[in-house]
């Protein structure tokens, strides 16, 4: 088992083909990663005004991790064994990013209104998150930002913006304990990054921030000798395909793409004709929105097995 900590290797803010690997691992290895929170550990209840501008970018990630035997055109399998809070607390607040996330029109600036940027510190204990004195939330940890290094011509992609076929900041609650995430591989070694752990997050992450936390993430990495086009997720109960928006693809197209990719996966995995699969999905399929750029098409395995 290999351990990789941001304290030793530093924080990265891009999926970048020029970054040197922080570790080499074999397929089948288990890796433990210590990751920082989405605010680079700078935001506390007492120090927001003092340190908010010190955060260079959001969503620091750890990586890249080179997986031996992972070749271009293969699939990287990431089984998430556990996600543990590193400090027993999480934090959320309305940041400057929130205003941009809610609307691309500068309405807040026009109205001379600022969002109340008071951090909410939430204790995490016994599988519960203490959101306030009156509200508790189940601890449902997830990895908000995870993916492989994209195509060489992409060179560098932000860990906050522009999720895509490589993964990235997808903010999908199903990327959680005991789920397996699959990524198409675009570079030798796959070059995996991850970070941006959440203690809980709702669909859409509408404030732009979840219950952000530093975390210890334990994963098992494997290589599958087949090609996929988009990230996929599998749990004991469900199959899921992911697609994202882009300059030429809005959320509607991402939803359509995710369902079509799921239909093709159902055909390969369960020998169901892809057109029959699409009709079946029209009856029992589900759609989840990770952040506002990410669509996840889902089907329960009970309809397939």
Name the residue range of residue 186's domain. 2-88+139-226
Residue 49, pLDDT score: 46
If you average pLDDT over residues 83-93, what whole number do you get? 93
For 92-134, how does the pLDDT look when each residue is reduced to its tens digit (9 = 90+)? 988 777 877 878 788 878 888 887 777 889 999 999 999 999 9
Is residue 76 one of the residues assigned to a domain? yes
* Domain end (from 193, 226, 259): 226
**Domain-embedded: residue 143:** yes
pLDDT of residue 1 exceeding 50, the answer is yes
Q: Do residues 193 and 147 share a domain?
A: yes
Q: Quick one: 185 and 262 in the same domain? A: no
Judge residue 113's burial from the number of C-beta atoms within 10 Å of its C-beta, 0-12 exposed, 13-18 middle, 19 or more buried.
exposed
Say if 106 falls within a structural domain. Answer: no
pLDDT at 91: 92
- Whether the per-residue pLDDT at 46 is higher than 60: the answer is no
Residue 172 sits in the same domain as residue 83: yes
Q: Give me the number of domains the chain comprises.
A: 2
277 and 188, same domain (yes or no): no
pTM as predicted: 0.92
- First vs last Cα of the chain: how many Å apart? 34
Say yes or no: 69 and 156 in one domain: yes
Beta-carbon contacts of 36 under 8 Å, excluding residues fewer than 6 positions away, are 6, 11, 60, 195, 214
User: Are 292 and 244 within one domain?
Assistant: yes
Indicate the pLDDT class of residue 44, thresholds 50, 70 and 90: low
Single residue among 226, 257, 280 that ends a domain in this structure: 226
Whether 171 is covered by a domain: the verdict is yes
Q: Examine the domain organization and report whether 246 and 286 are in the same domain.
A: yes
Q: Answer whether residue 113 is part of any domain.
A: no
**Geometric angle at alpha carbon 13, from 7 and 14, rounded to 5°:** 130
Query: Are 293 and 158 in a shared domain?
Result: no
Shared domain check, 197 and 156: yes
Over residues 143-181, the pLDDT tens digits come to 999 999 998 776 788 898 889 999 999 999 999 999 999
Identify whether residues 77 and 188 lie together within a single domain.
yes
Question: Which alpha helices (DSSP H) does the chain contain, by range?
Answer: 6-9, 48-51, 96-102, 107-110, 251-270, 274-284
Q: Tokens for 141? A: 């940890």
User: Quick one: CA dihedral 275, 168, 18, 213, positive or negative?
Assistant: negative
Torsions phi, psi of 280, nearest 5?
A: -60, -45
Is residue 244 domain-shared with residue 209, that is, in the same domain?
A: no
Q: Determine the 3-state secondary structure of 104 from DSSP.
A: coil
Which pLDDT band, with edges at 50, 70 and 90, does 297 fall under?
very high
pLDDT value at residue 104? 77
Q: What is the DSSP letter of 60?
A: -
């Amino acid at each position: 088992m290999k351990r990789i900590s941001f304290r030793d290797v530093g924080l990265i803010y891009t999926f970048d083909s020029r970054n040197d690997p922080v570790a080499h691992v074999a397929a089948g290895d288990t890796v433990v990663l210590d990751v920082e929170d989405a605010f680079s550990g700078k935001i506390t209840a007492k120090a927001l005004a003092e340190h908010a501008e010190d955060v260079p970018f959001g969503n620091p990630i750890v990586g890249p991790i080179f997986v031996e035997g992972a070749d271009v055109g293969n699939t990287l399998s990431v089984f998430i064994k556990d996600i543990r809070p590193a400090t027993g607390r999480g934090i959320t607040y309305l940041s400057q990013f929130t205003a941009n996330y809610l609307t691309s029109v500068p309405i807040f600036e026009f109205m001379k209104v600022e969002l109340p940027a008071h951090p909410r510190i939430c204790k995490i204990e016994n599988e519960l998150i203490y959101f306030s004195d009156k509200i508790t939330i189940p601890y449902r940890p997830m990895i908000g930002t995870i993916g492989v290094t994209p195509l060489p011509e992409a060179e560098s992609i932000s860990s906050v913006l522009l999720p895509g076929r490589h993964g990235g900041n997808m903010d999908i609650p199903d990327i959680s304990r005991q789920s397996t995430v699959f990524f198409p591989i675009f570079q030798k070694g796959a070059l995996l990054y991850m970070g941006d752990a959440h203690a809980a997050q709702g669909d859409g992450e509408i404030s732009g921030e979840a219950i952000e936390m530093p975390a210890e993430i334990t994963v098992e990495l494997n290589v599958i000798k087949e090609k996929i086009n988009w990230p996929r997720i599998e749990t004991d109960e469900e199959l899921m395909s992911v697609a994202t928006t882009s300059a030429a693809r809005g959320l509607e197209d991402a939803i359509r793409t995710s369902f079509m990719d799921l239909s093709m996966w159902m055909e390969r995995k369960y020998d169901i004709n892809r057109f029959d699969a699409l009709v079946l999905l029209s009856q029992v399929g589900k759609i989840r929105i990770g952040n506002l750029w990410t669509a996840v098409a889902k089907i329960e395995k009970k309809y397939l097995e």
